[in-house]
Each structure stands twice: as C-alpha cells, then as structure tokens.
C-alpha cells in the first residue's frame, strides 16, 4: 500500500472523464458507472448534501496512474438504496449510537448489479483494502457496497466485509423470434394471464410505442417526467430525481435511452424509461421508471414489461432486468436471480449481531429461491 496514494474527491467533475471511464471499461463497462451518468446525478441536484448524498469518490493512484476508482457517498439516510438497513439504524438509535452518516458505494437510486471497484484484477484486492481502511479511519458507523459483482464481493469479503444476499427477477432471451414464441414457452396459466392483461389495455383503446436515442424529443422527456413524478405524488412523496437529471442523460447518453409511451388516440397517458447497456458482450435493458397520468387496468404490466420485452426481442437484447424485488415478475416470464451486497460495521457488538442476522437471512433467501416454480413449460431451460 505504501506505493499507492488514495485521494477523495467531493465532485466527480474533479476527475477527467476519460480517466474514470477507462476504469469503467476495464471493470465491465456499464453505462451506469460512467462519468457522465454519475455527473448527471450531481449537476442536476439529485445527489447533493441537501438531499442526503455527499459525494466522496475514492481514487487510487500508483506511479501517477489512476489504477482504481470507487463511487462513494456519505449518506444521511437510507432512501434510494433498495437494500434495506432501517432496522440496523433503528437499533443504533435505540442504543444511543449514531448510524448516520454512513458510507455507501452504489449507483444512486439504481438497484442494478455491477462493478463498484472500478479497476482490474491486479488491483481489486488493494482497492478493497483501501476502501476499508478509509472507512475505518473516517469514524463513520458503517460501509455498504450494494449490488456487487462476484469479483468485488470476494475482494471485499477478504478485506473484512459481511455478505448479504437478495433476490431480483431478470428476463433472459432464449432466442425467441417474437413475443408469441416467448408466450408459447410459458405454462398455460401464465400465457392466459398475459394475454388477458394485454387485452384489457387494448380494449381500453390504449396503444404503445417505443422511442430510442435522438427519437426521444424534449416534449417526450417533459411528458415522461410528469408521469414519473406522479408516481411519487400520489403516495405523498417527493421524486428522487429532478427533471434536469433526465434531460442531461437524454442529451449526453441518448444512445442508452429507451422510452415506451402509452397513448389513447393522439393523447399520451403513461410512459416508462429503460437504460440500454452492454456489459461483457451482453446487451441489457434496465427497467427503472414508470408512471401514468390516469389509471388503466394492467397498463403498468404492458408498459413496464410486455412492450419492452417485445422491443428487446426485436433488437437482440439478451437480458432485461426488472429492478428490485417483485415476485409478480415471475408470472411474466422473469426468472429469479440472487444478487449480493457487502457491509462493514465499526461497532464490534453490532457487527457480530448483524453477521448472525445475515447468516439467517442468507439461508432464508436460499430457501425462497428454491421454493419458486419456473414460469416455463418443462422442456424450457432443462
């Protein structure tokens, strides 16, 4: 470690995009980790100290070369993470201890697995050790690295972190030529349910379309944000992301934007947004945001799942990730996938208690995964 230098920056703009993105490419190449994507969170005001996110990205230098980078935030709450530690925070508070601020390494508001230690195999263990040393010296309560790759998970466990497992539901393209072929691979009850749900949307006079890249106009973005914000407002909440975030991503990373719009006649009434990515040669769609200005029965399933899946089949997409949780996705052709995060707590007593809790939780996740029935007919996936 003596030959390496660790630097913390308060804005990702303090590091050259080309240097950061070179490490993103070396570690897997996800657009969600790219400089422009993280920069959009910060410049839009979505990620800022007054929203409970204080950027403190770590850079590891060796011989004046950037050898590793880690997106890192000091968090004043646990919102926007999708890996829930509210019970841990409550236990700290009940014992007169401060849980917040805590350290978080993740893509803000984005439960998508990917590299968090942006580096090569040669430096991964050193990057993990440097992150733990930084955390220990900082005096904050804990470190949480969310939705890690297997390689990052192993390096961080070796450095002293605890493993936590979760379940998501992803759709995998099995070379179906079209949506009807996909449907034919499902069990009869699943096929019947999906056809009935799509029929309800059609019978309501609603049609859908998909726009990508430069096809998405500024008017589309404004309409999408109205829908997105409405999903929060109807629940009495404030949207996590600002209009400027989506406009910035739409301008800087337009080739990664896929928007599905539902309309009745000429009037748009709902929209969903997905990110298009290529990681390790796999083309992926990340389903992230949806909203509607009026209720239409089953429209959420159509716009968040069925229309994007049709587009995925037509455009050779390998995987569609449906976001956090959601066993209802199983009935719609998505399959259970185990995801991981790692955690470190400074307080020895709480660290021991959390370790025991995570052991039980992992056993529960394994049992849950084993109990789920495939939505496909027997010959599919055998």
What are φ and ψ of residue 258, in 5° steps? -130, 120
> Are 27 and 149 within one domain?
yes
pLDDT in tens, 137-170: 999 999 999 999 999 999 999 999 999 999 999 9
CB atoms closer than 10 angstroms to residue 158: 13
For range 165-182, the mean pLDDT: 97
> Are 51 and 86 within one domain?
yes
Question: Residue 214 pLDDT > 90, yes or no?
Answer: yes
> Are 58 and 147 within one domain?
yes
> Are 159 and 206 within one domain?
no
> Are 36 and 185 within one domain?
no
Give the pLDDT band (50/70/90) at residue 364. Answer: very high
The reported pLDDT for the residue numbered 330 is 93
> Are 19 and 155 within one domain?
yes
> Are 157 and 184 within one domain?
no
User: 3-class SS at 275?
Assistant: strand
> Are 270 and 195 within one domain?
yes
Q: Is residue 379 part of a domain?
A: no
> Are 118 and 246 within one domain?
no
Segments forming the whole domain that contains residue 247: 174-317
CATH number at residue 269: 3.40.630.30
Question: Residue 21 pLDDT > 80, yes or no?
Answer: yes
Q: Is residue 227 part of a domain?
A: yes
For range 251-271, the mean pLDDT: 97
pLDDT in tens, 57-88: 999 999 889 999 999 999 999 999 999 999 99
pLDDT in tens, 28-45: 989 999 999 999 999 999
68 Cβ partners below 8 Å, 6+ apart? 23, 58, 59, 60, 117, 118, 119, 123, 124, 126, 127, 130
For range 268-275, the mean pLDDT: 98
Q: Is residue 211 part of a domain?
A: yes
> Are 8 and 114 within one domain?
yes
Tokens of 278: 């290529």
The H or E element containing residue 102 is strand 102-105
> Are 192 and 225 within one domain?
yes
Q: How many domains does the chain have?
A: 2
> Are 104 and 211 within one domain?
no
Q: Is residue 163 part of a domain?
A: yes
Question: Residue 1 pLDDT > 70, yes or no?
Answer: no
């Amino acid at each position: 470690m003596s030959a390496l230098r660790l630097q913390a920056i308060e804005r990702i703009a303090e590091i050259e995009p080309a240097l950061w993105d070179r490490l993103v490419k070396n570690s897997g190449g996800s657009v969600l980790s790219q400089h422009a994507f993280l920069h959009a969170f910060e410049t839009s005001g979505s990620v800022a100290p007054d929203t409970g996110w204080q950027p403190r990205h770590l850079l590891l230098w060796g011989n004046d070369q950037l050898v590793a980078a880690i997106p890192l935030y000091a968090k004043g709450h646990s919102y926007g993470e999708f890996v829930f530690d509210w019970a841990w925070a409550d236990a700290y508070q009940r014992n007169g201890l401060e849980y917040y601020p805590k350290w978080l390494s993740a893509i803000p508001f984005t439960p998508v697995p990917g590299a968090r230690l942006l580096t090569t195999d040669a430096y991964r263990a050193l990057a993990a050790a440097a992150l733990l040393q930084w955390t220990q010296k900082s005096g904050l309560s804990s470190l949480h690295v969310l939705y890690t790759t297997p390689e990052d998970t192993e390096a961080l466990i070796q450095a002293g972190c605890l493993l936590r497992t979760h379940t998501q539901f992803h759709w995998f393209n099995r070379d179906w030529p079209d949506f009807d072929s996909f449907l034919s691979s499902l069990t009869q009850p699943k096929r019947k349910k999906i056809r009935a749900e799509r029929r309800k949307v059609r019978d309501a006079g609603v049609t859908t379309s998909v726009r990508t890249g430069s096809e998405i106009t500024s008017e589309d973005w404004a309409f999408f944000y109205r829908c997105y914000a409405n999903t929060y407002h109807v629940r009495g909440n404030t949207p996590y992301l600002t209009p400027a975030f989506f406009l910035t991503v739409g301008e800087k990373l337009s080739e990664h934007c896929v928007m599905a719009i539902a309309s009745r006649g000429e009037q748009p009434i709902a929209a969903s947004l997905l990110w298009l990515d290529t990681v390790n040669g796999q083309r992926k769609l990340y389903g992230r945001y949806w909203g509607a200005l009026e209720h239409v029965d089953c429209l959420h399933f159509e716009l968040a799942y069925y229309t994007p899946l049709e587009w995925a089949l037509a455009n050779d997409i390998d995987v569609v990730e449906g976001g956090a949780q959601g066993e209802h996705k199983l009935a719609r052709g998505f399959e259970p996938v185990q995801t991981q995060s790692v955690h470190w707590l400074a307080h020895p007593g709480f660290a021991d208690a959390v370790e025991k809790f995570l052991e039980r939780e992992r056993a529960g996740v394994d049992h849950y995964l084993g109990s789920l029935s495939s939505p496909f007919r027997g010959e599919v996936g055998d």
